[in-house]
Chain A
């Protein structure tokens, strides 16, 4: 029979493990359990940039393509990251901007060239709204994440004594995004930032499936946002 003091020591040690070691172990595991990603960022500058504290930018997704459309979540991710940090820029949320300027930035009506923007700004209601928001740059994000090379299979079974999975699966993700920056004050394109991020994800399963997911789109988002922030600030 276990004495009360020994039981207390074991309980205390278990609590100590839960409080200190378990989060550390989970952190280490999560670091090992994420697959590798390669990201390349290119910048093509066509003009001088810079932004005042009272000015803002809007990041919009291109949705004119018939085969794909830029995901709203990716655009939001880039916007949130550009609005963070020591060089933060005021970013108008995409949905708010599109609704506020309805119907001029819908997939069918949005300006495709800077000359279209110049024509659009001749509409007094549009010009007034853009001035009210203090928008200096419009950033058009265009791209998608494609999954290819799916391989392997995982089988799972459940019985009276329990269940489990066995097998192996893998796939490759490739995120390609362009951000074209338009200067609203000069109706000119001032540059393009491109990001290409690839990564292979794996899911080995021996009783329990262990997903090793490559965070391809998240890496594309953070790389694009960091470069865009620097670009708009004139760096």
Chain B
């Protein structure tokens, strides 16, 4: 009787294990990002993260079209921008919507988005590395929604394969590498984007 009861308890667990074996593996990217050592621009930035960015996930498919890995990186992108932007601007205000900008006393609104995400797995590329490539669209708007600048930033991260490292850990580390690359590229090239440079001149924050 007790054996039967134990089997009844184990049943749902076995079913769950079988179902999990059939589905895609989920990777929620986690990383830490240092604050950049740059001179802050003496302006107030409003930042708006839309739902697509906040919940961004990429699905890698097998050669037969089945879902293989789901890489959720929306939250780690929030973490990255929340670490980078306060070092780049004197004040940063997170906006709930673009419509909230005029009342938030901000000088400019920044709205990043992900246009493309690519993942290269060693088992497919035959290389000894996990690689991640991301293409972003960066938009800078006036508080009233008028266009200031719109430019593309790409980032790349890779991590070598190691005998005791899981595929999930490899994907995570390559993605974190790509996000660090984004942070360094974005931070150091921000002032040199022509439209941004012109706008900074008009605000007296050109140098």
Chain A residues within 8 Å of B, Cβ to Cβ? 69, 71, 99-104, 106-109, 123, 125-126, 129
Contact with A along B29-52 (1 / 0, CB 8 A): 000001111110000000000000
Listed stretches B4-12, B58-66, B180-188; interface member = B180-188
Q: Are A108 and B184 in contact (CB under 8 A)?
A: yes
Q: Are A103 and B158 in contact (CB under 8 A)?
A: no
What is the minimal beta-carbon distance from B11 to any residue of chain A, in angstroms?
30
Q: Are A99 and B181 in contact (CB under 8 A)?
A: no
A99 to B32, CA, bound (A): 10
Q: Are A102 and B34 in contact (CB under 8 A)?
A: yes
Chain B residues within 8 Å of A123, by CB: 37
Name the residue of chain B whose CB is nearest to the CB of A105.
B184
Q: Are A101 and B158 in contact (CB under 8 A)?
A: no
A129 to B34, CA, bound (A): 14
Chain B residues within 8 Å of A126, by CB: 37
Which residue of the partner chain, among B35, B160, B184, contacts A106 with CB atoms under 8 Å? B184
Given contacts A69-B158, A69-B160, A71-B160, contact A125 B184 (CB under 8 A): no
Given contacts A102-B35, A103-B188, A126-B37, 17 further A-B contacts (CB under 8 A): A69-B160, A102-B34, A102-B36, A102-B37, A102-B183, A103-B36, A103-B37, A103-B38, A103-B180, A107-B181, A108-B184, A109-B185, A109-B188, A123-B37, A125-B37, A125-B39, A129-B37
- Most chain A CB within 10 A, of B34, B37, B38, is at B37
Chain A residues within 8 Å of B34, by CB: 99-100, 102
A56 to B207, CA, bound (A): 33
A-B complex: 3 closest residue pairs judged by Cβ atoms: A103-B184, A102-B34, A125-B37
Chain B residues within 8 Å of A125, by CB: 37-39
Given contacts A69-B158, A109-B188, contact A101 B37 (CB under 8 A): yes
Please name 28 pairs of A and B residues whose Cβ atoms are closer than 8 Å in the assembled complex, sorted by A.
A69-B158, A69-B160, A71-B160, A100-B34, A102-B34, A102-B37, A102-B180, A102-B183, A102-B184, A103-B36, A103-B37, A103-B184, A103-B187, A103-B188, A104-B37, A106-B184, A108-B181, A108-B184, A108-B185, A109-B184, A109-B185, A109-B188, A123-B37, A125-B37, A125-B38, A125-B39, A126-B37, A129-B37
Chain A residues within 8 Å of B180, by CB: 102-103, 106
A109 to B37, CA, bound (A): 13
Name the residue of chain A whose CB is nearest to the CB of B83.
A102
A127 to B34, CA, bound (A): 18
Name the residue of chain A whose CB is nearest to the CB of B155.
A108
What is the minimal beta-carbon distance from B188 to any residue of chain A, in angstroms?
6
